[in-house]
Every structure is written in C-alpha cells, then in structure tokens.
Homo-oligomer: A and B are copies of this chain.
Amino acid sequence: MPEFFQLLPPDQARTKFLAEIRASPQPETVPLAEALDRVTFAPVCATAPLPPFTRSTMDGYAVRAQDTFGASSSLPMYLTLAGEVLMGQVPDLELRPGQAALIHTGGMLPRGADAVVQIEVTQKSRDDEVEVLKAVGRGENVLQAGDDVKAGEEVLPAGHWLRPQDLGGLASLGVTPVTVARRPRVAVLATGDEVIPPEAEPRLGQVRDANSYSVGALVAQAGGVALLGGIIPDSFEALKAAAVSALKAADMLVLMAGSSVSVRDITLDVVNELGRPGVLVHGVAIKPGKPTILAVADGKPVIGLPGNPVSAMVSGGLFVTPAIHRLLGFTHPPRAATARATLSHNLESQTGRDDFVPVRLVSRDGALYAEPVFGKSNQIFILVRGDGLVLVPRDANGLSAGAEVEVGLF
C-alpha cells in the first residue's frame, strides 16, 4: 500500500495551499527607525509635494536663465549680486533682471530666479558682481517643487517590503511612525520520543531538537514570529492537544512531522482534525521533502514538515516562507540571492520530481564551481556545509558536470 497516493509538483502544491489561506494582515505601528524589513500594511501617499519648494541642485548662483543667454568664457555675462540664499530659510530677496544670488545645494530659489549657474562656470570679478561663463536653460540645476513626489501620489503600495531607501523616503515625507503588517505568529512544534531540548544532555538513544531552531529562524527570516512550542511525544492525543492549543494562540502552525511513517501518520490524523478544509496536499514531488503535509484549518495554514533536517529546510523554503508572506500581505518579496556556477560533478536524478541538491561554492582558477555536499540527508550539517541548493528540474534525469547552474543561496 503506497503511503502517498498522488505527489503534486511543488508549484501546484503551493498554489492549491496558498489559495485556501485566509490572509487578513493586521496593522501595527512602529517607529520609523525600526521599520526595516517590515511590510507596509496600506498604501502610503504623500501629503505634500517633494521637494516642498524649488531647490538648487548645485552650488552656484540663482539667475534668470534669459540673463545668461549667449554667455561663454570668451564673452561672459555680468550679473549684479543681490545677496545670498541662506539654507533653511525663505530668501528675503527677489531677483530682478540682471541680478544673481549666491545659492548652495538644496537652497530655495528666490522669487524671480528660474535656474542656477554652477559655481564652476562663474568668476567673481567684483564684490557685487559675478561673471557667468556659460548659459543655462530655464530649470537647469533646479529641482522643482513636486519633481520627486507629487502631493497625493502613492509612493509605496500595500504589501511592500521596507528597504533602507524606503525608510529614507518615508522620513522625507514625515511618515513616522509607520503602519506595517503585524508579524504573523507561527507556532513551531517538534515531535519525537527521542528528541530533547538543546540545553539538555542526551542519554544514549536521544538527540537534541535541531529543527525547531532552524525552522524557527526560517520563520523569522520570512517575517514571522516563531513561537517554539517544545517537543511533543509521539502520541495522537499529546500531539492533538498541543496542536490545538498552539494553533489557537498563533496565525499558523508548523509541525515537524517526524521521520518515521508511524509518526507521520499520527501527524496527518492530527492535522485533519484541526479545522476545515484540513489536509490539501500530502506528498510533494520533491527530493528531499516528499512527505510534506500542507493543510489549512479554518483559514490558518498548517504545515507538516518532514523530520529529516535537510528535508525540513528545503520544504520550509518552498512552503513555510510563502505562507508567511501571504499572511503578511507581502506582494513582492525580495528575490532570493543566487549565483551562477559550473557544476563540478554529475548529478543523477529521477524524472518526475524536483531534486534539490546542497552544494558548496568553490572558486578555482578564477571560475566559480558548485560542488555537491555529499552525505545522507539525515545529516544536520549537510546544509551548514553548503552555500545553496541546485535544482535538478523534474523534466531532467540529471545534470552533467560542467553544466552552468544557478545556485539558490541560503
């Protein structure tokens, strides 16, 4: 009797899963200086134009452009110095024909001026006079009010990842504090009679819980808050009680579904009792990561990850991360870092499933090579020794040494 009746390709599995999640991001207000890597809750619109007034983009002289027409180094135009524009102040002068005013980068253009002559193409002939050696057109070296942002313009959509430059933009518009999507709380439960917390000393036969920490960090990386719920014994009753209570306090639940079939069966039964519609996907056409369970319980995503540490991370990247992004309302998550490299060894693979092979990047003779990290996928340190994953797609039965591959970095 096969354990899995139908293995879905990962993209189909993900689509089916994400469609059932009830995503309703909640607003949270954070100080601007703490908003890095958060996700906007609502579109942000400018309440005023930027810059708020017409500014010089250069050090030089504010002028009427037409007064400079025809100026050259052999035939300078002489303008009378009407004063200096002080930074941060409205100029107390109005430029009349034939006049110029000293202005600094960012200074406000005085009335009457419509361009700035760069200081490099001027010469100070007398205290009250400046020689212009080059003509400027109207608007030259000037940023008009609203040139950067118009009043009312949507500057950031909802579901936008806040990068350093976005925080600068929000500061310039006075958007502080910022309303971001609250981080989804993701309960993470480990299972296994043999599993103990990392701070405990294992007796013979016991191992420490690694997956709660790697998957918990994956949750944080995706923008969620991991609630580590500890280690649950391998029994239906214990796991069900823990899952029900964890899911009640969280927006999403990740269970380490164990490595043995009997424990995975328990997990499957528990997940099916958590809410509607229950298990959507049981088994994905990937290696490692096949025994993944994707479910939705009354709108909340529930994922059963394989217990194998490599599988848990591969499957977590494919399903845990997008589920958290969906809960955040995160429309355009950042692209993952990748590197192009030459495959150092042949990789065998079966058609019909996506194979993810951990590789190490090695520079040799000026070229970058992707070297498979060999070992059994039960080894926790396979991914620690690796720099990323190479995908052998399901329509290929392997990749040859020397092939150029894209490495998904982690």
Instruction: Please report the C-alpha to C-alpha distance between residue A104 and residue B205 in the assembled complex, in whole angstroms.
Output: 12
A309 touches B168 (CB 8 A): yes
Q: Is A226 an interface residue (CB 8 A)?
A: yes
Quick check: is A88 within 8 A (CB to CB) of the other chain? yes
A174 touches B198 (CB 8 A): yes
A183 shortest CB reach to chain B, Å? 14
CB neighbours of A108 from chain B (8 A): 204-205
Contacts A90-B204, A165-B384, A337-B335 hold; do A209 and B171 have CB atoms under 8 A apart?
yes
Are B198 and A380 neighbours in the complex by a CB distance under 8 Å? Answer: no
Complex CA gap A214/B170 in Å reads 9
Q: Distance in Å from the Cβ of A109 to the closest Cβ of chain B? A: 10
Given contacts A90-B205, A168-B210, contact A259 B105 (CB under 8 A): yes
A99 vs B175: C-alpha distance when bound (angstroms): 73
Q: Smallest distance from the beta carbon of A204 to chain B beta carbons, Å?
A: 5
Closest residue of chain B to A50, judged by CB? Answer: B380
Size band of the interface chain A makes with B: 35 or more
Q: A377's closest neighbor in chain B, by CB?
A: B57
Chain B residue nearest to A176 (CB atoms) is B198
Cβ–Cβ < 8 Å partners of A313 in chain B: 164-165, 168
Are B33 and A86 touching (Cβ within 8 A)? no
Task: Please report the C-alpha to C-alpha distance between residue A32 and residue B209 in the assembled complex, in whole angstroms.
Answer: 12
Is the pair A163, B217 in contact by a Cβ cutoff of 8 Å?
yes
Cα(A203)–Cα(B107), bound, Å = 13
Q: Are B193's CB and A87's CB within 8 A?
A: yes
Q: Does A10 contact B (CB under 8 A)?
A: no
Q: Which of A66-74, A147-155, A395-403 contacts B (4 or more CB under 8 A)?
A: A147-155
Interface residue SS majority, chain A:
loop
Complex alpha-carbon distance, A107 and B200, angstroms: 19
* A4 in the interface (beta carbon within 8 A): no
Q: Any chain B CB within 8 A of the CB of A378?
A: yes
In the complex, per-residue mask of A48-74: 1 if CB is within 8 Å of any chain B CB, else 0: 001111010101000000000000000
Contact B380 A148 (CB under 8 A): yes
B337–A214 touching, CB < 8 Å? no
Residue A199 at the B interface, CB < 8 A? yes
> In the complex, which residue of chain B has the Cβ closest to the Cβ of A410?
B163
Asked if B172 contacts A210 (CB within 8 A), the reply is yes
Least Cβ–Cβ distance between A157 and chain B, in angstroms: 11
- Pick the contact of A50 from B88, B173, B376, B381 — CB < 8 Å? B381
CB of A242 closer than 8 Å to a CB of B:
no
| CB-based contact B379/A167 at 8 Å | no
**Set of chain B residues within 8 Å of A410, measured between Cβ atoms:** 163-165
With A143-B376, A172-B207, A205-B88: A383-B335 Cβ-Cβ less than 8 Å: no
Determine whether A76 belongs to the interface, using a CB cutoff of 8 Å to chain B. no
**Known interface pairs A52-B202, A234-B87. Does A213 touch B383 (Cβ–Cβ under 8 Å)?**
no
Determine whether the beta carbon of A221 is less than 8 Å from that of B36.
yes
A372 interface contact, C-beta 8 A: no
Option from B33, B155, B216 in Cβ contact (under 8 Å) with A226: B33
A233 to chain B, nearest CB (A): 9
Q: Mark A87-102, 1 if CB is under 8 A from B, else 0.
A: 1111100000000000
> Given A53-B204, A57-B378, A105-B259, list of 10 further CB < 8 A pairs?
A33-B213, A87-B205, A89-B205, A106-B207, A106-B307, A108-B205, A143-B376, A169-B381, A173-B208, A175-B198
